[in-house]
Amino acid sequence: MVLRLDEIVARFGGEIVGAGDTAVSRIDTLQHAGPGDLAFLANPKYRHQLATTHAAAVIMAPPAMPGLVAAILTPQPYLYYARVAQWLNPAPPSLPGIHPSAVVEGNVAATASVGANVWVGRGARIGDDVVIGANCSIGEDVEIGDGSRLAANVSIYARCRIGARCLIHSGVVVGADGFGFAREGDGSWVKVPQVGRVVIGDDVEIGAGTTIDRGALGDTVIGDGVKLDNQIQVGHNVRIGPHTAMAGCVGIAGSAVIGARCTVGGAAVILGHLSIADDVNVSAGTLVAKSIPRAGTYSGTVPFLEHGDWLRNFSRLRHLDEMADRIRALEQRLAALEKKS
């Protein structure tokens, strides 16, 4: 696809500086872009690369740098880049139909595409324009909304529900049993049946290798617009509010409730039965060991604190040895003074 800058601005807004008929066919970084490429500047620390880029045009926040051939000015260049990149890189088309090797016992819309070696269980309902990649397993009574796409080797257990326009990457498991066991007096374990579902809203993306456990009694619920990175563990009966995003290797224990529009950094851990308010940002590697009742940024491990408090405390932590030496010296001086008196 080849686009002119004036076509892009007509669709997404912004201000053109330079030639509006400049044509671009792909997006690349400032450092690697060449003629015909559209670059973007979202992080000010790369602004010096504007002087040497070979891009045909640049998406950037105002003001434009003198000497650029052409630019699109917008207050949110990274968001603008994402929208243009979607336009230039649409999802690959799929042909409706069911592969001869697939086993389909449920109801599949005529416009859906079902790949090789897929199993669709009894009572399952697959919506219009759904794409199901090779080797997927779709359990009994599963619902998948219109326009959702499943990459190869995805497993959706019985009775779970996937909303519209979701994107689920390879290796995802939705609806496996939660980790529920009761302990006998002799230390052995008795399994608690996991009879709930996983209910996933619209426009959700789930990264490769992520697992979302079904509820023990009620449902595990993933709200509209949630974005989950690779290799995330979501325990049973967890509830994640709309438009929350989580980076890779996050672990969420059972029955935690996470609000809307939160962000959770990579490898953070959220303990079970906690509540996190809307608009909370949890830094990477943070251990959330108690509920967070108000919006803000939180960091740390033992214990986690509001971000500013953690930074102040950690700055003192680095000087613990020095402080300990000073305390010992003061104690010795005090002891000497007490002997003299």
Q: Rounded CA gap, 298 and 311, in Å?
A: 10
- CB-CB neighbours of 245 under 10 Å: 16
SS3 of residue 182 by DSSP:
strand
Query: Given this model, what pLDDT does residue 313 score?
Result: 82
Question: 26 is written with which tokens?
Answer: 């792909």
Whether 187 and 169 have beta carbons less than 8 Å apart is answered as no
Average pLDDT (69-98) is: 94
- Please determine, for residue 65, whether its predicted confidence score (pLDDT) is greater than 90: no
CA distances from 179 to 156, 203, 234 (A): 17, 27, 11
pLDDT one-digit tens code per residue, 303-314: 677 888 888 887
- Determine the average pLDDT of the residues in 270-281: 98
Identify whether the C-beta of residue 306 lies closer than 8 Å to the C-beta of residue 288.
no
Average pLDDT over residues 175-195: 97
Work out the average pLDDT over 10-15: 96
Distance of alpha carbon 57 from alpha carbon 29, whole angstroms = 11
Q: Find the mean pLDDT for residues 159-165.
A: 98
pLDDT score, position 68: 80
The SS3 of residue 98 is strand
CA 107 to each of CA 74, 129, 138, 174, 315: distance values in angstroms, whole numbers, following the listed order: 46, 13, 11, 20, 60
Task: Determine the pLDDT at residue 286.
Answer: 95
SS3 64: coil
What count of other Cβ atoms lies within 10 Å of the Cβ of residue 1? 9
Does pLDDT of 11 surpass 70? Answer: yes
Check: CB of residue 284 under 8 Å from CB of residue 266: yes
At residue 338, the pLDDT reads 86
Residues 296-322: what's their mean pLDDT?
83
pLDDT in tens, 104-139: 999 999 999 999 999 999 999 999 999 999 999 999
pLDDT for the residue 303:
67
In the structure, what pLDDT confidence band is assigned to residue 316 with cuts at 50, 70 and 90? confident
Question: Is pLDDT at 31 greater than 90 in this prediction?
Answer: yes
pLDDT at 146: 98
Entry pTM = 0.87
Positive or negative, the Cα torsion across 40, 43, 47, 53? negative
CA angle, 272 then 239 then 167, to 5°:
125
pLDDT at 20 over 70: yes
Rounded to whole angstroms, how far apart are CA atoms 156 and 26? 35
**Catalytic residue numbers, as ranges:** 236
Confidence of residue 38 (pLDDT cuts 50, 70, 90): very high
Question: Could you give the residue ranges of the DSSP H alpha helices within the chain?
Answer: 5-12, 77-88, 307-317, 320-340
Average per-residue pLDDT for the chain: 95
pLDDT above 80: residue 302:
no
Tokens in use for 163? 């909303």
Closest CA to 174 of 215, 229, 134, 133: 215
Rounded (10°) angle between helices 307-317 and 320-340:
60
